[in-house]
Chains A and B, each alone.
Chain A
Amino acid sequence: MAPVAYRVTSRTRETEDTVTIGIVPVTESIPTPAAGQFCMLYAPRVGEVPISVSGVEASQSRLLHTIRAVGAVTKALCALDVGDVVGVRGPYGTAWGVEAAAGGDLLLVAGGIGLAPLRPVVHEVLRRRRRFRRVTLLVGARSPDEMVFRGEIASWQASARMEVRTTVDYATAAWKGDVGVVTTLIERLTIDPEVTVAMVCGPEVMMRFAAAGVMAQGVAPQRVLASLERTMQCGIRRCGHCQLGGLFICSEGPVLPWSRVAPLLARREL
């Protein structure tokens, strides 16, 4: 399936290896993605990779994608300049379903670039803040330099409309947040398990610990949502690469309740 052309209208460097691009349709546009969904981004003549939507400005059909350069395609995407053409297919996959958490508490746990797919959730919550009770965001990164959206995180903290805690594995002298893995922050929270929905995104080991930490406080596994990552080339249940047991992570996921994925992740090399 061929991509449609979008044009890069903004480019923000987040960290040493991570860039956020803002893109708008050249002519044809894709349907508006929901928080948690991803697009297949095509770097012309290099290749196509799944990248979560890190922001949506539906009014302008403008999409934000935050990309960490780890290989050929992500490097090419990070190297795009304002004015360049990029291909887009999608949106694909399941969404976080922010609405399902309305009326209750929301706990967001992000590790590294895992904050990118959760950022549209924060935007949505802040737009309609009164629909939610307590909203907590825990962000972990390896070092302060590697934390994405630092300016925005600071503004969320300053606004006091939600509780935001940050932590790094390796602190610098200027660091004012916590030190240690993000899961230690969970232990220190008081959670109302009956009304809390937790959304976790980050490296798989981090998500295992985060889910365990949240469930240790009594949150049911169906109320813990995780965004899984697997190799995927098509995004539409056809290439076969993203299977985990009977799931195609591209379509039944990436966002899945922990109750569904825990038995599968418990099997090594499934």
Chain B
Amino acid sequence: MPSRESDIATPRLVIDVAGLQSLIDSLRGDGYRVVGPTVRDGAIVLAEMSDVAELPRGWADDQRPGGYRLTRREDGAFFGHSVSAATWKHHLFPPEVVSWQARVDTEGIHVEAPAAPARYALLGLRACDLAAIAVQDRVLMQTAHPDRDYAARRERALLIAVNCAAPSGSCFCTSMGTGPRATAGHDLALTELVGDGEGPARSAQVPAGAERNDAGAGHRFLVEVGSERGAAAISALRASPPSASDLDAAAAVWSSAAARVDRSLDTAGLPGLLMRNLEHPRWDLVAERCLSCANCTLVCPTCFCVDLREAGGLDPRHAEQHRVWASCFSVDHSQLHGGSMRWSARARYRQWMTHKLATWHEQFGTSGCVGCGRCITWCPAGIDITEEAAAIRATDGLTGPPTRARG
């Protein structure tokens, strides 16, 4: 738990629920499209919003390998859930965008100026989501050939994080060093304090002797400012400085959240471990379960593979290229000479996992996995990347045909 003194430099203030609504209103007034979590068809999704009432108030989620279920919570928390299947990648690196369009005639290819992408205020990012955006920044922007559309969206976006109070059974951010508390990359970071005698704040252990000068404080948010843009966004809000008990309550949320993350991935020497075990029988076992459905790559906030597709349409002088999400789980991802380089499910799962956990380091100087747990929850076969890595670690160097006993 970071001490209050250590990060005293971060400007902090407290707003109430009406203040959150004012924030949304003022962002919308400034031309932002505000996107946040909401409940739809039995799951939490991300959608454009204008009213705090649209947030998943009073909802929690039960997540585990291959499983997801919404449950009620009594305390009326707006953000008492964990990450959803939808990622913010949908807004910063959407499934399909026009990468360029042009008029083509006998005189040349006349590229048309790209339309400016939407300006999003993303509300409710978790620490792992911020880490994933930092990874995508490296892959898509900090490179010799930046992705214009991503860079434009990123430049315009305002990132409002919410510190996790209720990590799910799939989360393993603590072992990846990415959460559960937002420490970098946000413009604003909120910690929800549900109110005295309620929810996360109630379970918080208030240190003996801690001052409670605001007894009876209601549902409120500690707001930490991470950037000038963040500071500007809240400059007009009615806010008060945090009291000592606000800070204690927030600190308790942070530490209890961290303690609730019980899944982990041992990252020590992980790239080397995986790359020296490319013929490990564990790959055969996981291939027997993997359906190659690509769910894991669709929900992963860092996966970046795309196809570039011609989409010129009917006008014979119009040319248009679309950038469309692709997945290494499809056979034609590596199609060459009438055949796939990775025709077996074993090779495709191995490619995905070794890319995330091993070769990504070599390519981008960071892990490709931030420990959000989405691929674990949304895998219909319940395949768990942490379990797969642990199984290989437990039998480092094993080769030969798989035995039925797993692990």
Contact = CB atoms under 8 A, between A and B. Distances in A.
Interface of A: 1-5, 26-27, 42, 44-48, 83, 85, 87, 203, 229-231, 233-234, 236-241, 243, 245-246, 248, 251, 267-270
Contacts, number: 109
A230 B109 contact: no
B108 A85 contact: yes
A2 B355 contact: no
B122 to A, nearest CB: 23
A246 B278 contact: no
B305 A241 contact: yes
B108 to A, nearest CB: 4
A173 B288 CA distance: 53
Contact of A2 (B102, B106, B326): B102
B351 to A, nearest CB: 7
Contact of B316 (A1, A45, A83, A251): A45
B319 A45 contact: yes
A133 to B, nearest CB: 36
A135 B362 CA distance: 37
Given A238-B304, A240-B306, A241-B333, A85 B109 contact: yes
5 contacts: A47-B308, A234-B308, A237-B143, A238-B306, A241-B334
Contacts of A3: 109
Interface in B43-58: none
A240 B143 CA distance: 14
B278 A239 contact: no
Interface stretch (B20-28, B144-152, B398-406): B144-152
Interface in B78-117: 99-100, 102, 104-109, 111
A48 B147 CA distance: 17
Q: From DSSP, what is the main secondary structure of chain B's interface residues? A: mixed
Contacts of B140: 238
Nearest to B310: A47
B363 interface: yes
Interface in B354-374: 355, 358-359, 362-363
A42 to B, nearest CB: 8
Contacts of B185: none
In the A-B complex, list the 5 residue pairs whose CB atoms are closest, starting with the nearest. Answer: A240-B305, A269-B347, A5-B108, A246-B359, A246-B362
Given A1-B148, A46-B310, A246 B363 contact: yes
B211 interface: no
B32 interface: no
Contacts of B307: 233, 239
A132 to B, nearest CB: 32
B321 A230 contact: no
Nearest to B348: A269
A208 B333 CA distance: 23
Nearest to B341: A269
B106 A85 contact: yes
A146 B157 CA distance: 55
Contacts of B318: 45
Nearest to B306: A239
A45 B145 contact: no
B312 interface: yes
Given A2-B100, A45-B104, A230 B341 contact: yes
Given A44-B319, A240-B304, A240-B305, 18 more contacts: A1-B99, A1-B145, A1-B148, A2-B100, A2-B102, A45-B316, A46-B310, A85-B106, A230-B336, A233-B307, A234-B306, A234-B308, A237-B144, A238-B306, A240-B326, A243-B351, A245-B359, A270-B351
